[in-house]
Amino acid sequence: MQIRPTTTEKIAKFIIWTISILVVLLLFFIVTFILIKGIPTLTWEFLTQNPASSGREGGILSTIVSTLLVTMVAIIVATPFGVGTAFYLTEFTHESKATRIIRFSAESLAAIPSIVYGLFGFIFFVIFLKLGWSVLSGGLTMAVMILPTIIRTSEEAILSVPAQYREVSFSLGGSKWQTITTAVLPSAFPGIATGVILGIGRCVAETAAVILTAGSSIHMPNSFFDPARTMAVHFYIMAREGISMERAYGTAALLVIIIFFINLMANMIVNRFVAKSR
Amino acid sequence: MNIKKEKNLRRAFFFIALSTLSVLAIITLFIFFEGIPLINKVGVFKFLFGMKWAPSQGLYGIFPMIIGTLSVTLGAALIGVPVALCVSIFLTEFAPKQIRMFMRSTIQLLAGIPSVVYGFWGLTFIVPFIRDYLGGPGLSILAGSLILAIMILPTIISISEVSLLALPGLYKQGSLALGATHWQTIWRVLIPAAKSGIMAAIILGIGRAIGETMAVIMVLGNAVALPNSILDPARTLTTNIGIEMGYASGDHQQALFATGIVLLVMIMILNSAAQYIVRKK
C-alpha cells in the first residue's frame, strides 16, 4: 500500500513539531529545576561570605573571585593571540598551504576534549613551568582552550567587513596598519567582542581543565600564584561529595544566571551589529 | 622606510598566527612525552586490549574504557542525532520567525550551561528513573547516553542548520514547482543536498560526546569492569583521567596521560574526517 505524500507530510510535520517542542521543554525543565532549587540560597550573605568548614557553612565569595581571576587571565592572554591570528589569516595572506595548516590546527584545538587540556595544563604549566596549582596555570590553560573560539569568530567578523572599506583606506594613502586599525577593526569589533564573550562563558563553565590546573583550594587566592577553586569546580565538589546540597544548588543557579547574561550580551552585540550593517 | 614597516608588521602577525600552530604542537608533544614511556613499558597491545585496570598491581589495560567510551557515544548519537536533525529542519523549514529566534537563543543557552550541571541533573532525575523502572544501579551507560545526547544537541543543530540555510533557494523552488510536497522537498532534495554539512555536524557532535568528562563522571557509575548491558555502570577514557588524576603519581599518572593519547588520537581522526568531508564539497 502506498501512503499518500500529503499524509506522509502531515506525519513528518507532526513528529518534527513535537520533538522540537519537547527539546525546548526539556531545557526549561533543566533550567527551572536548578533555579527553583538554587535561587532561595542566593542571598547577599551567600555572595559576600567566604565558604567555611569546607563549604558546609558560609557563602561562595572566594569561588566567585577565583572564577573572575582565572577568566581574566585567560581573556587577557587569548584575545591578542586569537585576534592576531584571525587578522593574519584574513588580511596578510592569501589562501595557501600555511593558512590551511594554521586553520587546521585551530580547528583541531577546538576539538580537543577539555580533560586533555587539563592534562596538558598540568604537565606544562603546573609541573614544567613550575607554576603549581594556581590561578595563573588555570587561566593560561583556559586561554589555550578558548583560543580557537576567538580565532573563528574574529575571522568571520573580519571577513564580513566590506572590501571597499579597505580599498578606500588604501586609496587615501593609508598604510596597512592604519587600514586595519581605523577601517577594519572598528566595524569588525562587535563580532570580535562576541567571540571574546563566548570565551568568557566557556571559562566560567569549565570544570575538568580547571580542577587539574588551578586546583581546588577553597581559600581566597591572594595572588595569581595561589591555588583557587572556581564556581563550577565548587559546585562539582559540593554536589559529588554531598557536602551541602543547598549551597551546591545556589552555586549552580548563579552559574546558570551568569551564562544566561553572557549569552544575552553576545546576542545583543550581534543584533546591533546586524542592524547597523543593513 | 614604509615598506620595511609593512614587512615587520606582516612578520609580527605571522608569528602570532604561528603561536596557534605551536600550541597544538606543544600540547601533542607534552601529552605524548608523558604517556609513551608507559605504553612502551606495558606494551601497546596489552595497554589497548588489556582487560584489567588495577594501578595498585601495576596493571594498565584500558579496553573496558574504550568499550565504555564507544558504547556511551554510540548511545548518545543514536538518541541525539535524529532529535537534532528534527530540530534543525524545524528551525530552517517550519518555525515561524519569532519561534526561530527564541529557539536559537534557547539552544545557545543549552550550549553554555556547565557540564557539571547536566551531570547533576541527570543524577537527580535520570539515574533514579532508570533504577526504579528499568533495573540495575541506575548509574549506567543508558544514563550517560541520555545526558550526552542532550549535550551534543547544540553542536549538531547549529552546524546542520547552517548547512541547510546555505542551500540555494532554487533547489527548494524547483522541487516545489515540480509538484513535490514540502516534506518530499525536504527529504529528497534539501537533506541530500546538505548531506556533507550534516555529516560533519554529526561527526563533530560525536567528538563532543567522546570528549565530555564531568557530566559523564556523575551518571556513569565509573566501574572499571567490562559492561554487559546498557544498564551496567561503565567508565570512559575521559572519566578515567578525571577521576584518578587527582591522586595518581608515577606510572599511574603516566598511564592516565597514555589514556589521554588514545583520546587525542580518536579526536584527531574524527576531526580530520569532518574537515575532509566539508572540504570535499
Query: pLDDT at position A66, please?
Result: 94
**Cβ contact, residue pair A113, B30, below 8 Å:** no
Cβ neighbours around B3 below 10 Å, total = 8
Q: Which of A27, A37, A87, A116 to mutate to test the interface with B (most CBs of B within 10 A)?
A: A116
Q: Is residue B195 part of a domain?
A: yes
Domain ranges in chain A are: 5-41, 44-277
User: Cβ of B113 and A205 within 8 Å?
Assistant: yes
Quick check: is B19 in a domain? no
Note the pLDDT tens digit of each residue in A127-173: 999 999 999 999 999 999 999 999 988 988 898 888 888 889 889 98
Calculate the average pLDDT of chain B: 91
Per-residue pLDDT tens digits for A69-91: 999 999 999 999 999 999 998 88
Residues contacting residue A89 through CB under 8 Å, at least 6 positions apart: A99, A102, A103, A151, A155, B17
Task: Give the per-residue pLDDT at A230.
Answer: 94
Q: Do B211 and A116 touch (CB under 8 A)?
A: yes
Taking contacts as CB-CB distances below 8 angstroms, the residues of chain A near B184 are 5, 8-9
| Nearest-neighbour CA in chain A from B51: distance (Å) | 23
Q: How far is B278 from chain A (nearest CA, A)?
A: 12
Quick one: average pLDDT of B138-145? Answer: 93
Q: Number of helices (H) and strands (E), helices first, in chain B?
A: 14, 2
Query: What Cα–Cα distance (Å) separates residue B134 from each residue in A111, A235, B13, B150, B229?
Result: 34, 29, 58, 20, 12
Confidence check: pLDDT of A113 > 90: yes
- pLDDT value at residue A58: 83
For residue A1, with 0-12 CB atoms within 10 Å meaning exposed, 13-18 middle and 19 or more buried, which class applies? exposed
Q: What is the pLDDT of residue B27?
A: 93
Structural domain includes residue B20: no
- CB contacts, 8 Å: B153 with chain A: 23
Interface predicted TM-score (ipTM) of this complex, two decimals? 0.90
Residue B83 placed within a domain: yes
Q: What is the pLDDT of residue A277?
A: 56
Does position A123 have pLDDT exceeding 90, yes or no?
Answer: yes
Q: How many domains does chain B have?
A: 1
CA distance B27 to B33: 10
CATH architecture of A44-277: Orthogonal Bundle (1.10)
Share of chain B above pLDDT 70, in %: 99
Q: Which of B126, B159, B256 is nearest to A110 (CA)?
A: B159
Q: Closest approach of chain A CAs to the CA of B258, in angstroms?
A: 11
Q: Name the nearest CA neighbour of A240 among B139, B119, B114.
A: B119
pLDDT at residue A182 tops 60 = yes
Cell of B78: 543514536
C-alpha cell at B109: 543557552
Percentage of chain B beyond pLDDT 90 is 64
Q: Show Cβ contacts of residue A153 under 8 Å, excluding neighbours closer than 6 positions.
A: A191, A192, A194, A195, A198
- Is the predicted pLDDT of residue B25 greater than 70, yes or no? yes
Looking at per-residue pLDDT, the higher value among B79 and B228 belongs to B79
Among candidate residues B29, B114, B238, the one with its CA nearest the CA of residue A116: B238
Confidence of residue A269 (pLDDT cuts 50, 70, 90): confident
Instruction: Over range B106-134, report the average pLDDT.
Output: 92
Assess if residue B39 is contained within a domain. Answer: no
Q: Tell me, yes or no, whether B17 lies in a domain.
A: no
* CB within 8 Å: A113 and B238: yes
Q: Quick one: pLDDT at residue A83?
A: 93
In this prediction, residue A37 carries a pLDDT of: 92
CB A121 within 8 A of CB A215: no
Any CB–CB contact under 8 A between B1 and chain A? no
Distance of CA B183 to the CA centre of its chain: 30
**With contacts defined as CB-CB under 8 Å, which chain B residues touch A113?**
210-213, 238, 263, 267
Q: Is residue B215 part of a domain?
A: yes
Say what the pLDDT of residue B91 is.
94
Each residue's pLDDT tens digit, A15-50? 999 999 999 999 999 999 999 999 998 989 888 888
Q: Which domain holds residue B63?
A: 49-280
- Partner-chain contact B120 A239, CB within 8 Å: yes
Report the largest interatomic distance among the alpha carbons of chain B, rounded to a whole angstrom: 78
User: Looking at the predicted structure, is the pLDDT value of residue A124 above 80?
Assistant: yes
Query: Which pLDDT value is given to residue A234?
Result: 93
Q: Is residue B132 part of a domain?
A: yes
Q: What is the pLDDT of residues B43-77, one digit of tens each?
A: 999 999 999 999 888 899 999 999 999 999 999 99
Q: Which residues of A touch B125 (CB under 8 A)?
A: 33
What pLDDT band is residue B281 in, cutting at 50, 70 and 90? low
Average of per-residue pLDDT values in chain A:
89
8 Å CB contact between B55 and B226: no
User: At A275, is the pLDDT very low, low, confident or very high (cuts 50, 70, 90)?
Assistant: low
**Contact flag B24-A252 (C-beta cutoff 8 Å):** no
Q: How far apart are CA B279 and CA B196, in angstroms?
A: 9
Asked if A220 contacts A197 with a C-beta cutoff of 8 angstroms, the reply is no
